[in-house]
Amino acid sequence: AQKVTQAQTEISVVEKEDVTLDCVYETRDTTYYLFWYKQPPSGELVFLIRRNSFDEQNEISGRYSWNFQKSTSSFNFTITASQVVDSAVYFCAWNTGNQFYFGTGTSLTVIP
């Protein structure tokens, strides 16, 4: 069965600390996509990144970086030098074909 697990329910960090959000997925498919979304208090999900199963290169975008490792079925997300504006719920998602499967989310609070 397809599944996405975000074991960290809530994380609190002090501003400027680095934080890593974990995501583990289960699949037997060889072709699939992985995603991260941010849901601020307003509620709208914001797309952050997409990765396909054939591309294990790490990605960096400003303070955000993603580490995709097929050997451990993980797609972790690191925020460097966290800021208060990073406070949100972050969802990892998996897709092959027409359906998307979301983890239960990690609620990040950055304390000023």
Partner 1 sequence: DGGITQSPKYLFRKEGQNVTLSCEQNLNHDAMYWYRQDPGQGLRLIYYSQIVNDFQKGDIAEGYSVSREKKESFPLTVTSAQKNPTAFYLCASSMTSGHYSYEQYFGPGTRLTVT
Q: Is 3 in the site for partner 1 (CB under 8 A)?
A: no
**What secondary structure letter does DSSP report for 86?**
G
Tell me how many degrees the CA angle 13-49-80 measures, rounded to the nearest 5. 30
Q: Say which residue the tokens 């451990």 belong to.
A: 72
Considering only residues 47 through 106, tell me which ones interact with partner 1, judged by CB under 8 A: 47, 50, 91, 95-100, 102-105
Site pattern 20..49 for partner 1 (x: CB under 8 A): -----------x-x-x-x----xxxxxx--
Nearer to partner 1, 33 or 64 (CB): 33
Residues near partner 1 (CB under 8 A)? 31, 33, 35, 37, 42-47, 50, 91, 95-100, 102-105
